[in-house]
């Protein structure tokens, strides 16, 4: 069985590279942009085409597997994690960046069996960086082993977050309040790059100490959570408990100390769950 997941990982890598190529071509073409849950939750035709490419390729090879994809979910497919082998796919993470040709866009493919993540693949479409992780086998960037930052002192931390799609005054107050709380710790810095998966990959690489967000989705976390864990980091819920893929909340850090500190500072923003109908 373990070997067959290795084959799945191989296929995932090849599929992510092909999808990334499609993203690089599409970014130079005229984009048809529309919005989903809110006016700032963007989608383009490219998101849908890239997801179709990924899912049809994987489904042909693994017909019995299940698929959770950002655009399939937007089109009304159920977003529920069962014990079956399940692929969790974000065809274009950083759609707003993609729309503006801001070069931080990734393809993310995670794979879970019995609700446990087995591997993750994240491909940075513009600089060609490939992040991979397989449970029990480590995390890699272009084949080089990844290690998180071992910094325990939050006042020396570089912290990443993302804004999320809700922009009502209460949400913005809490979002900015959380950021103010961390900035006044003071931490070294806070960054927003516009792609949850690539931000999480910076934590896996040790280029940032931590990441937190309310409002992301299972396809933004799945692959990256495995990669960070395999790089030696911790990925938990904003309440301090174990990560819940469907909860739309995450705190990830190189060290437990920094993760715990962030958990204590955050005030919650309620986004509901991915697996709510």
Binding interface with ligand IPD (CB under 6 A): 70, 90, 92-95, 162-164, 194-196, 215-217, 220
Work out how close the CB of 36 gets to ligand IPD at its nearest, in angstroms, rounded to a whole number: 8
Which lies closer to ligand IPD via its Cβ, residue 134 or residue 248?
248
**Nearest CA to 205 among 254, 151, 270?**
254
Which lies closer to ligand IPD via its Cβ, residue 115 or residue 167?
167
How many other CB atoms are found less than 10 A from the CB of residue 135? Answer: 18
Which lies closer to ligand IPD via its Cβ, residue 100 or residue 156?
100
**Nearest CA to 265 among 238, 235, 244?**
238
Work out how close the CB of 97 gets to ligand IPD at its nearest, in angstroms, rounded to a whole number: 7
Number of H helices, E strands in the chain: 8, 14
Residues 6+ apart with CB under 8 A from 267: 174, 177, 178
Distance CA 92, CA 220 (A): 10
Under 8 Å between Cβ of 213 and 99: no
Which lies closer to ligand IPD via its Cβ, residue 42 or residue 117?
42
Q: Tell me the catalytic residues.
A: 70, 90, 92-93, 95, 220
Which lies closer to ligand IPD via its Cβ, residue 4 or residue 38?
38
């Amino acid at each position: 069985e373990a070997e067959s997941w290795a084959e799945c990982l191989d296929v995932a890598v090849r599929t992510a590279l092909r999808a990334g190529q499609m993203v690089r071509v599409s970014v130079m073409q005229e984009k048809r942009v529309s919005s989903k849950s809110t006016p700032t939750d963007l989608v383009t035709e490219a998101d849908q085409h890239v997801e179709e490419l990924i899912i049809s390729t994987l489904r042909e090879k693994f017909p019995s597997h299940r698929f959770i994809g950002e655009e399939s979910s937007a089109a009304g497919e159920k977003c529920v994690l069962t014990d079956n082998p399940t692929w969790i796919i974000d065809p274009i993470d950083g759609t707003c960046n993609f729309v503006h040709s801001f070069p931080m866009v990734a393809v993310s493919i995670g794979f879970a069996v019995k609700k446990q993540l087995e591997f993750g693949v994240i491909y940075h479409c513009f600089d060609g960086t490939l992040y991979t992780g397989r449970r029990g086998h480590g995390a890699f960037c272009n084949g080089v082993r990844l290690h998180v930052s071992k910094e325990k002192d939050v006042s020396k931390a570089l912290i990443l977050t993302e804004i999320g799609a809700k922009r009502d005054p209460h949400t913005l107050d809490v979002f900015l309040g959380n950021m103010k709380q961390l900035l006044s710790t003071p931490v070294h810095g806070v960054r927003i790059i516009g792609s949850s998966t690539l931000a999480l990959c910076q934590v896996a690489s040790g280029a940032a100490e931590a990441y937190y967000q309310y409002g992301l989705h299972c396809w933004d976390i799945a692959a990256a959570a495995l990669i960070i864990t395999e790089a030696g980091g911790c990925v938990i819920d904003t309440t301090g408990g174990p990560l819940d893929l469907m909860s739309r909340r995450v705190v990830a850090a190189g060290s437990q100390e920094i993760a715990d500190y962030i958990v204590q500072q955050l005030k919650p923003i309620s986004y509901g769950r991915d697996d709510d109908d």
